Structure 1
Amino acid sequence: MAVNKLVYYIIPLIVLGLIAWWQFGFGGLFENLKGGVKGVIEMAPNVSIGAEEELATEPTIPREHEEAINNLVETIEKMVTSPKKNCFLNYKLLGKNYGTNSGMPSLGEGGTTISFQLKGDKTEMLIAGGAGGKQEVTRLRKEIAGFKPCVIAGSNEITKNFFNRYLGQGQILGDNYKPVSIINIFYDTDGDNGNAIRVPEFGNEPVNDEGDNFEDEGWLFKAEDGSICFFPTNKVMSADDDGLVYGNINQINTKVGVVGSGLDYCYTWTE
């Protein structure tokens, strides 16, 4: 009985194989089979064959990174919806000490990259991790309505104007923030190792030639036009085209929310 069943299934397969051989030739048959297998992998990502195995698996990032990124997004959304402008808010998770001056944990552990890309009236966030930190974690992709990214950097004038208005004293001539279309945040090993922020449209410099330049303490700034700004940092100058020196960023910790300081929160937890 078992033999009959086996013959019942094998004979049609042999016939189909002969027909395929006659129609496509061996090379054509192989290409069709290969295409069919690839289609199966695309339809069922958990199925992997040979070299496709790594690409077929959803990449991950460390839990600590994901928690910090989620809090960053929540903070940006609060700032976007707040009616306040020229104000500050901190995205660093309460009580966290990452051992760096960044609002993020060290992104080198896990090779995580955070990218913000302006698209019309919203910004898309893409997260990469996995092997070599190059694979997108698609479940973490998010669009943030109303979010227009900017940086406190880009020229000496911009950064000095920001410093003079909020952290020091002096003349204010022109803009104090720079709208941008793309921001990348990742762990950089060129020069000083550490979390780094990059603005592709700036070219080789400013900002992009600095290592470990994301010592922002977790602070974000909401500009006059509603843009949400990140703080690139430099190691030497009080304020230059690369950003503010860390010591000036740290001043925000002691001044924001203090009566008469001129530094207001964009959102308070009683709202």
Structure 2
Amino acid sequence: MSWFEAKTEKAKIPPAKALWAICPKCGSHFEKAVWKKNNAICPKCNYHGRLSARERIAQVADEGSFSEVFRAVSYSDHLSFHDATGPYKAKVEATIAKSGETESIVMGTAKIDGHPVMLGVMDFAFMGGSLGTGTGERIARACEQAIAENRPLVLFSASGGARMHEGILSLMQMAKTSAAIAKLKEAGLPYISVLTDPTTGGVSASYAMLGDINVTEPKALIGFAGRRVIENTIHQKLPDDFQSAEYLEKHGFIDKIVERSELKGFLAKMLNYWGF
């Protein structure tokens, strides 16, 4: 051993926690505490940032009224799918372990300002809020329970589209959920769809746009295919605000843009109009 060899161990310093949040729309920087206190809404441009399913439930459901259902209904891996980064099953199990959720939508019974509803909230952090067999089955069962218990359905969408890891079975959920909502409407029960940032792909092309009332938050991204795909297909430049909540409202695809702070009151007002 050398006389001059260092014997002291390096101090283990934990990684620093990020202190700043960056608005994905305008690029403004804020302390994370400010972002959180403002309910993930940018103070500069009013972009309504993404929330977890549990955060949204806490904001719209009456305290203590939410009772989760269908938690055991989860993904399927009939294809034993693998890609360059590994098996699908390992990915989704890792997501479940990290998030504590078992699918991309959290479903349950709840009350909104005293009005009983079936409430479903998608979580974009769970595999991009993708629509898989478990998600579709939860929505279908929610419609059945809503009919059985005479409850309106309120769904919050946040998704990148169908979960391609599950192949054609994921695409089938578009038809399955649409048929379930049709049954709900045949029973005379209202369906309120709240499209949040982002709602795209197969979700926007199915149940997200089938509400008796379709509402969204300011500056939400809503569309089917991506901007670059469309521009490369039609060989035209799209408007800067294309696929924004404001663009869709202007062209009649959305009934109303509602501020996050006013959303619970708006939902309660609509439910009251329907007499529930």
TM range (shorter): under 0.3
- The TM-score normalised by the length of structure 2 is 0.26
- The TM-score normalised by the length of structure 1 is 0.26
Higher relative contact order (CA 8 A, sep 6+): 1
Q: Which has the larger radius of gyration?
A: 1
